[in-house]
Amino acid sequence: MISWDYLWPLFVAMGIVLAVVPIAGLYMTFVERKLAALIQNRVGPNRVGPAGLLQAVADGIKIFLKEQVVPNHVFKSIYFLAPTIGLICAMLSIAVVPFGPTEVGEKEGFRAIIAPGIDIGLLYLLAVSGLSAYGIILGGWASNNKYSLYGAIRSCAQFISYEIPLGLSLLGVIAAAGTLNIESIVASQGPGLMHWNVWWQPLAALMFFTAALAETNRLPFDLPECEQELVGGFHTEYSGIKFVLFFLAEYTHVVTVSFLTVLLFFGGWHFPGLTDSVDSTWGGYAVRWCVLLAKVALVIGLIIQLRWTLPRFRFDQLMGVAWKGLIPLGMLNLVGLAVVLTLDLSKWWLAVYSLIIVLLVGIANVASTRRTSTSNSRSNIATDLRSAPYEGAS
């Protein structure tokens, strides 16, 4: 029987998500511009409001008041539907992500999650985040523009490829906690620093972060919307509020990914020293909330910083990273995890195993580059000269 007692926490949580996520998205553009400026030895937006803090508001007002340009050649219905689908899918995935400290099995009162105690949490999340490719693909298709379609196709390939390492990397976390429920996974990580999943599953954490970054379509995985080759990719024909919806979907994904990284691998709202139960005191509750948000802010900062640190992938490299790098690594990691869990070994063996795998991959890489450099690296320079003896040959 659904009563108001069960409904009001739901509506409050939904209200918080619906209000905070767009504003956070808007301010992430500001933070992104500011960080980009600082990294490039500039000052960044500093004109609107104190220290430029109202820049995000001004941008929002500007883009909402823009003329709604609808090109003549688009499929109108899908064209309007696509950004909405993108944002809805992005928003849906937040439903199972706790955005504040929540106790497992807590049934009444306000909880900082829209769907508390949902036992298919991660499965649902993977399914819905896979759906969000629809927004991009439909947008690219409806634009009736070859560049948009290229962007959409790339996005499709990218989503399919990176779903696999994403799932593989989560298996370790799921198997260790024995549940798909995100609150339980966080609870299983305990209060101490060394209880965090990242320490004994470093490879899985790295793979999850990489694959999730690819799912957000952000640099260095921004092939679907690269300005360099595809004008703007799938959103070339979109402007004004329709563009904002795509944009917001991307930033919502970033928020979700950051929350997930923190919740699954970095102990969520746990921090060394905070050992009492979640809602024993209001102060403890607030501190835990701050801990979680601070961790999430750090991850978001890292994602933004990676954009200005790493060069972009070429498309074949992008596919190579997923199919030749992350998926085999995920499989190997899974083998190690199975061995550790089946034989009931100490979980630290998995950390050792991860390090050994990473080292072996590195050694294999070195070996392969050595071999190619002596045999055929010159083959593509000049075939005429290859056979000729020359000085300085290695």
Partner 1 sequence: MSEENSKAKKHVTWAEPPQMTLMETLYIPAIAAGIGTTVKRMFGKNETRQYPEVEPEIPPNYRGVHRLNRDDQGRVKCVACFLCQTVCPAKCITIEATATDKTDPNWADRDKYPATFEIDELRCIYCGMCEQACPVDAIELTSIYDLTGLSREEMIFDKEKLLEVFDETTQSGKDPVRTKRGTLGPASEILVDLPDESSSSDHPSS
- Shortest separation between residue 321's beta carbon and partner 1, angstroms: 10
- Determine the Cα–Cα distance for residues 29 and 14; give it in Å rounded to an integer: 23
Question: Site for partner 1 (CB under 8 A): which residue of 53, 54, 302, 341?
Answer: 302
**Any idea what the Cα angle at residue 224 is, between residues 221 and 230, rounded to 5°?**
120
Identify whether 50 is preceded by a cis peptide bond (ω within 30 of 0).
no
DSSP reduced 3-state for 294: helix
Question: Site for partner 1 (CB under 8 A): which residue of 363, 371, 376, 379?
Answer: 363
Q: Does 390 bind partner 1 (CB under 8 A)?
A: yes
- Read off the amino acid at residue 120: I
Question: Site for partner 1 (CB under 8 A): which residue of 42, 73, 107, 371?
Answer: 42
- Shortest separation between residue 373's beta carbon and partner 1, angstroms: 6
- Determine the Cα–Cα distance for residues 194 and 49; give it in Å rounded to an integer: 43
User: Per this entry, what is the length of the chain?
Assistant: 394
Question: Site for partner 1 (CB under 8 A): which residue of 40, 72, 77, 383?
Answer: 40
Phi first, then psi, for residue 267 (nearest 5°) are 75, 10
**Any idea what the Cα angle at residue 367 is, between residues 362 and 369, rounded to 5°?**
95
Question: Site for partner 1 (CB under 8 A): which residue of 277, 309, 376, 379?
Answer: 309
- Determine the Cα–Cα distance for residues 26 and 378; give it in Å rounded to an integer: 50
**Count, residues near partner 1 per rule CB under 8 A:** 35
Q: Does 392 bind partner 1 (CB under 8 A)?
A: yes
Among 15-23, 64-72, 271-279, 303-311, the segment contacting partner 1 (CB under 8 A): 303-311
Q: Does 66 bind partner 1 (CB under 8 A)?
A: no
Among 33-41, 61-69, 73-81, 264-272, the segment contacting partner 1 (CB under 8 A): 33-41
Q: Does 38 bind partner 1 (CB under 8 A)?
A: yes
* CB-based contacts of 272, cutoff 8 Å, min separation 6: 191, 192, 193
Q: Does 312 bind partner 1 (CB under 8 A)?
A: no
Tell me whether residue 282 or residue 390 sits nearer to partner 1 (CB atom).
Answer: 390
Residue reference for tokens 């949580």 = 13
- Read off the amino acid at residue 142: A
Where do contacts with partner 1 occur on this chain (CB under 8 A)? 35, 38-43, 206, 302, 305-306, 308-310, 358-359, 361-363, 365-366, 369-370, 373, 377-378, 384-385, 388-394
